[in-house]
Structure 1
């Protein structure tokens, strides 16, 4: 059985694509080990999917400098003791390790960049820029979750073996065909990482402009930089008189999140208008919502309109305009039959093309081409 070592300077449980990719490698008889950094905040409650051939080691986070030193020492130890056949790197801080591993005999390397790093200033940053580019050129495969980002990545690094892998659910996570929820009104749903750029306060203001039978439910986790944001949304909802229509369910396992999502009507996906990078394809959220039978509310921008095209799975609005958000909410509330048809189309699209078996296929093909992993068991 081949050994796969996943390296990332964060908690891998916070990144579902890592869990899903590991699951497909495990299905092919591989042994998987993760070396990460323990989460702080509400994200610390998340866990990777259990499997007898999957193990995990998390470094604590006393200070940034101490954590980096401890992580690099642990990575060297893992390379020596675990002796991986594939080193799978998912964050710029670990790219120097991946670059070094690419020179080891009979070891393949994968660079999977979930978020584009900010690497434009300072001596340390300059070294990471160089390591990123060198690793990109040597890696067996570079994996980027978004098409525009992949084009930029190639231009910045000179990497040529690049695959775009959308952050979609696995087929096993896609639920049964959606059935309309019984009951009046409308239940809006949002889950995942929570912060002002991913769940704008304008949504609470929009909620206050809708009838009392419209409800917003939110689940997920805050990061260190966004800790306390949910409390601010609760306070805002209370001040606007809609506190009873805003619910925060906390962080939960993915199965529990999906079960709660299936009890809603519409998935809300509104990013800050000046979000730092393209997200269509890279964000887990729209795919999660569609898999649970929810049509979408998305940003009224070319990026999102072009991605979903004329599939009729979503309605768009300006994310900083409560009146425009309320307009879309009311359309969904007042058109339950059309909403149900949109849900059916979205669910079928997930089964046909937007699933992680298809997203991760280029990675498996690249590794199998050199006989690093076996066939599906």
Structure 2
């Protein structure tokens, strides 16, 4: 007997969203998957055999797409909806991500031969609606009007869920599925003792993710320059040309060029190796928008550090303290204050035995509670029930 099919929609390259990739891997054990995304940037992930991947549209980079005219973006979106509705005709459930993907799913459902439940998983939030002169403006308003039509709404953080509920007509209780890593992907090293000793002897500050002022890129480098230690700094992730130039000048200004490395953007599977060698991981966001504050369980890098047993410094926001205050491997710092970061680092590196205990505690926390298998389990059970009885 063949498995039932689930359609998964994201109006982007799904490879770039670890929680989406994790969900696909867990769902593919129980269902065949029709995965629909945009033909955008390089494909970096290999999916299970029963996942059929459709990357719609002409291949372009993210930068090229941003330069398209409003008319071109509209036609691309319409064509995406038409092709997606054809691919989804035999699925038993649609699992849609973010505003553009959910709006596609809602429109597509009208063209399907049978009623299909939709689950809406919203990663991102916008404090203001985009202008009606843009496609985003129309899609934002459609999402607000139709958000309550999903059989279930999913968010990665409770504060984000509350934010959306206050600004829409969503009355149903949402489900919170934090952006934790997949346990099966993050295998532990064979020799923790040797690895931790190597970290201690070769101190490395590590940041993975989008690099900008809002992620305290300059403050992290400044903190390293203030410490009376030889410290290497390694950044990996998306970096705009303007931010790259700004960061380069700042590194040179502090005479830290020989200690700083930018590793570029790496496929997700290649990030584990440099993370394992990090002494301290950084998950700092500045309070520039609500989504940066409402990120305690949505910031996947924090828990990727935990998966690699790396002590982590996060922003000293009440939302983060509420969620992580009892974690012995976490320290808090003001992302706008390099001296605050220095104090957090000094605490982490004050004693080798203490540092070793923090590393092991981080990995234990990941294995016991901060993994996607555990976080996704309630949603997986709901999907199984919906596919059997989609009413």
5+ residue gaps in structure 2?
none
Deviations 1:61-107 (A, max 9, x none): 26153133213212222212442332222222333322224555231
Q: Which residue of 1 aligns with 2:379?
A: 363
Q: Which residue of 2 aligns with 1:322?
A: 338
Aligned residues: 365
Q: Secondary structure at the match of 2:258?
A: helix
Could you tell me how far apart the structure 1 residues matched to 2:295 and 2:39 are? 24
Residue 171 (structure 1) aligned with residue 183 (structure 2): yes
Residue 195 (structure 1) aligned with residue 200 (structure 2): no
Kept after mapping to 1: 8 A contact 2:92/2:387: no
Kindly indicate whether structure 1 or structure 2 has the higher relative contact order, using CA contacts under 8 Å at least 6 residues apart.
Answer: 1
Change (3 A) 1:3 1:228: farther
Q: Which of the residues 73, 79, 83 maps onto 2:79?
A: 73
Could you tell me how far apart the structure 2 residues matched to 1:117 and 1:85 are? 30
Change (3 A) 1:199 1:169: same
Change (3 A) 1:116 1:34: same
Q: Which of the residues 31, 35, 57 maps onto 2:33?
A: 31
Q: Which residue of 2 aligns with 1:41?
A: none
Change (3 A) 1:318 1:334: same
Cα deviation, residue 129, structure 1 = 4.5
Deviations 1:24-79 (A, max 9, x none): 111113123222251xxxxx346233332331304342615313321321222221
The 10-residue stretch of structure 1 (213-222 or 112-121) with the greater mean CA deviation from structure 2: 112-121
Kept after mapping to 2: 8 A contact 1:46/1:251: no
Q: Which of the residues 151, 167, 172 maps onto 1:156?
A: 167
Could you tell me how far apart the structure 1 residues matched to 2:290 and 2:256 are? 31
Q: Secondary structure at the match of 2:6?
A: strand
Residue 184 (structure 1) aligned with residue 190 (structure 2): no
Q: Secondary structure at the match of 2:332?
A: strand
Q: Which of the residues 82, 88, 91 maps onto 2:95?
A: 88
Q: Structure 2 length as normaliser, TM-score?
A: 0.86
Q: Tell me the C-alpha RMSD between the 2 structures.
A: 2.3
Counterparts of 1:316-355 in structure 2, within 5 Å, are 316-355=332-371
Q: Structure 1 length as normaliser, TM-score?
A: 0.89
Change (3 A) 1:250 1:9: same
Deviations 1:142-177 (A, max 9, x none): 111101111222233333151111000011123316
Could you tell me how far apart the structure 2 residues matched to 1:181 and 1:140 are? 50
Could you tell me how far apart the structure 1 residues matched to 2:249 and 2:266 are? 22
Change (3 A) 1:237 1:36: same
Deviations 1:163-198 (A, max 9, x none): 111000011123316441325252111112222212
The 10-residue stretch of structure 1 (64-73 or 158-167) with the greater mean CA deviation from structure 2: 64-73
Residue 236 (structure 1) aligned with residue 250 (structure 2): yes
Kept after mapping to 2: 8 A contact 1:237/1:243: yes
Cα deviation, residue 9, structure 1 = 2.6
